[in-house]
Copies of this chain bind each other. A is one copy, B any other.
Amino acid sequence: MKQFISTQDIDSVPKLVQIAKYFKASPHGKEHLGKNKTLGLLFFNSSLRTRLSTQKAAQNLGMNVLVMNVDEEGWKIEFDEGAVMNQGEQEHLQEAAAVLSQYCDFIGVRSFASLTDREADYEEKILRGFIRYAKKPVFSMESATRHPLQSLADVLTVEENKTVEKPKVVLSWAPHPLPLPQAVANSFLEWMKQTDCELVVTNPEGFDLSEEFTEGLEIVHDQCEALKNADFVYAKNWSSFENYGATTDAFSDWTIDSRKMALTNRARFMHCLPVRRNVVVTDEVLNSEHSLVIEQANNRTFAAQAVLYKFLQDG
């Protein structure tokens, strides 16, 4: 595996899920595999789960870890080719990525969408820049358009909790006071498509995700209709792809509550966290035994461990 950004980088989603399951059962089963290997984790944005679970995964494999908040602790990075660097940016990505490749065997990068430049975001300018200039495998800890470690944990969570062979899985847009990236939603669809499920997306008009991710899927603009008979409800806010980065407070009735959950087939509730309680979803739903959000977070460790294992195996 040369990089880990999307499902295109791996042979098989089910096989990777099996590896994650192995590590969940035996977290220290390969505790010497990473000896003398160094993992570098670069954060351009906030992180709790990704930051800690990826470190934990590396420690479970016996790797050393170097963590860096790039902008605050290092230098402000210039991403444009050919830039005349007489402004605030102090170091070019070209050097940063090449230098990190001297110290690290594998490099994780978190860099959120700008939400202002759709083309740059959907070209994955920053992550692809790292990949281009790094001399070591790079993996996404959430990029502009995808969050594959989250999605792998999500697929594992559905796999562990499904009670029918082909569950109905509904990804539902939910309200939020600030505009958020589409990455988690895009990535969830991309990964769930590789599993045996009935996948439905529901969101208000104007909030359809990119066709790159919704192709072949049913998009339902009536949330209650979509939720009927759902086995899993995955709630997430995202800003508009069409009117790029725009948000709205017109759909505050899209909050997931018990009344809506009652339309489902006693569905399990999912969210990637952090979640704004009583905005995205009510306390009642989150506190119920139907919520899987903490287990999703737990599975992040084993998702990361599976990916690091693949990197270690491949060299």
The answer for the CA separation of A294 and B100 in the assembled complex, in Å, is 10
- A13 interface hit (Cβ, 8 Å): no
- Which DSSP category, helix, strand, loop or mixed, fits chain A's interface? mixed
Which residue from chain B places its CB closest to the CB of A78 in the assembled complex? B277
- A49 interface hit (Cβ, 8 Å): yes
A219-263 residues with Cβ-Cβ distance < 8 A to B are none
Number of copies: 3
Q: Which residues of B contact A103 (CB under 8 A)?
A: 52-53, 56, 301
Q: Which residues of B contact A104 (CB under 8 A)?
A: 52
* A84-B279 in contact (CB<8A): yes
* A66-B74 in contact (CB<8A): no
The answer for the CA separation of A212 and B195 in the assembled complex, in Å, is 60
* B46-A75 in contact (CB<8A): yes
* A47-B74 in contact (CB<8A): yes
A interface list, Cβ under 8 A from B: 27-28, 31, 36, 38, 40, 43, 46-49, 51-53, 55-56, 59-60, 64, 66, 68-70, 72-75, 78, 82-87, 90-92, 94-96, 98-100, 102-104, 177, 273-279, 283, 286-287, 293-294, 297-298, 301
